[in-house]
């Protein structure tokens, strides 16, 4: 494994670990991940709410989300289904969106 790949994997693991620790401590929407702007611009930091507003509203409005009440597992299945249909969310971003949805729109 070359060093740059190892460094990327290590940083990704650290970001996920930090996010898990913050979530376990009861932090809300303070966990954010850097993502690239469309077009390869400079990275921006987004939280679950911002990701939802930016990525999910490309196909439908927020009213559809706001009406739904689901468990965390149900939100996970929904987000995974949307990704399979083309929603642009990386794994860490999916985690943030699922956490936000589960906390904001619980069943």
Report the number of distinct structural domains present in the chain. 1
Q: What contacts 100, CB < 8 A, 6 or more positions away?
A: 29, 47, 48, 49, 51, 52
Gap between the Cα atoms of 23 and 59, Å rounded: 28
pLDDT digit string (tens) for 16-34?
Answer: 665 665 555 544 444 455 5
Full-model pTM: 0.59
For residue 59, the enclosing domain spans 3-104
pLDDT in tens, 31-50: 455 555 555 555 656 799 99
Quote the CA–CA distance of 31 and 43 in Å, as a whole number: 16
**Residue 41 is part of a domain; what is its CATH number?**
1.10.760.10
């Amino acid at each position: 494994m070359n060093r740059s790949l190892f460094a990327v994997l290590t940083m990704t693991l650290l970001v996920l670990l930090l996010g898990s620790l913050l979530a376990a401590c009861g932090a809300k929407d303070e966990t954010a991940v850097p993502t690239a702007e469309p077009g390869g611009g400079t990275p921006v930091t987004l939280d679950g709410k911002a990701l939802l507003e930016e990525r999910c509203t490309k196909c439908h409005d927020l009213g559809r989300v706001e009406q739904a009440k689901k468990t965390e597992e149900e939100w996970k299945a929904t987000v995974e289904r949307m990704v399979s249909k083309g929603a642009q969310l990386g794994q860490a971003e999916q985690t943030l969106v699922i956490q936000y949805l589960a906390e904001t729109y619980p069943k």
